[in-house]
Structure 1
Amino acid sequence: MAGAPHLKPNDVDLAVIILAGWTTKLTWDLFLRQLALELGHGHVYSKVAILKHARIKEAWNQARRRLAQEVKEVGERGQGRSIVAQLRRKLDEARDQLAVERERNNNLIEQFKRWQYNAERHGLKRSQLEAKLSRPSK
């Protein structure tokens, strides 16, 4: 039975790129399986084999630090993956903004209704209300 193919420099580059873009929970099992998929030959390397490559080892450490920092910044470790926590925070902010905009819209609708009522009470016609604005003379 043939052993695993040796990692070529391009394979090491790919592993570093994968780690640099990693956004979910980082485990050796997940990473090694993703690397096997990306390399296309189907072999899942062992952690020991991967750690022989200094560039991959450093990229791993950087990815772990980066993901840990993201979790710390978000402050929601209990919500799972840091990207999910960030998305939840953004969703909450969007919902808050939507509530503010809805309130503003409701206030403008109420104002319009008051103006419409008062215009009708004072005998203003729709054509008068929709007349184009004249430019002030200089």
Structure 2
Amino acid sequence: MTKLRAKNLSDEMIAEIVEVIDGWNSEKLTWGILIEVLRTTGLPEYTRQALDRHPRIKLAYHSRKEMLREKRFNGSVQPSAKVPLDDSRVEILEATVNRLKKENNHLLELFMRWLYNATSAGLSTADLDKPMPHVDRDTTPDDVPSARAGKSQTKADGKQPVRRRH
């Protein structure tokens, strides 16, 4: 019998998973253990590949693993049952700050790449700073043919589009 596919991860679910990772206070973090913990929180079961495909989850996971590795190297990892509440809260906040710094750096690198490519394509900074056009989704101009209204659609050259059967 095959398993049914879990629904796609929403932004809220991704945020919840990232919070679980940021709050991870066990000595070991693996995809398998994380999936088991997520199952106990009531989230649908996802594979490692599905979780790893989302950049925020992937970044949070690798960031937390790196912090755990550094603590293990320094000998400061304590079992989760012995960690006082205040230290646990500080550790969660440190993990969150570390992850957010990495996310911010990633977004800055992405922005710089886009800016470079846009200026290479001849766009100025003024062009890039223009506000988004307003879109009124409630109305449709009269001159635009509507497929829902039963009107035929024509191309700019006056020809009918080719309809293909699937």
> For 1:8 and 1:37, how far apart are their aligned partners in 2?
18
Matched, 1:31 2:34: yes
What letter is aligned with 1:27? Answer: T
What letter is aligned with 1:53? Answer: H
User: Which 5+ residue runs of structure 2 have no aligned equivalent?
Assistant: 83-166
Identity %: 24
> For 1:31 and 1:45, how far apart are their aligned partners in 2?
10
> For 1:31 and 1:2, how far apart are their aligned partners in 2?
20
User: Which 5+ residue runs of structure 1 have no aligned equivalent?
Assistant: 76-81, 88-138
Shift of 1:2: 3.8
Q: What pairs up with 1:75-86 in 2 under 5 angstroms?
A: 82-84=77-79
Q: What pairs up with 1:53-132 in 2 under 5 angstroms?
A: 53-74=54-75, 82-84=77-79
> Any idea what the Cα deviations from partners look like across 1:2-22, whole Å, max 9, x if unmatched?
421111111100111111111
The answer to which structure has the higher helix fraction is 1
What letter is aligned with 2:49? Answer: V
Quote the residue 2:150 is aligned against. none
Quote the residue 1:5 is aligned against. 7
What letter is aligned with 1:4? Answer: A
> For 1:70 and 1:84, how far apart are their aligned partners in 2?
12
Shift of 1:29: 0.9
Shift of 1:30: 0.8
> Any idea what the Cα deviations from partners look like across 1:48-93, whole Å, max 9, x if unmatched?
1111100000000101001001111117xxxxxx3239x5xxxxxx
Instruction: Give the 4+ runs in structure 1 shifted more than 4 A.
Output: none
User: What CA RMSD, in Å, does the superposition of the two structures yield over aligned residues?
Assistant: 2.2
> For 1:29 and 1:10, how far apart are their aligned partners in 2?
22
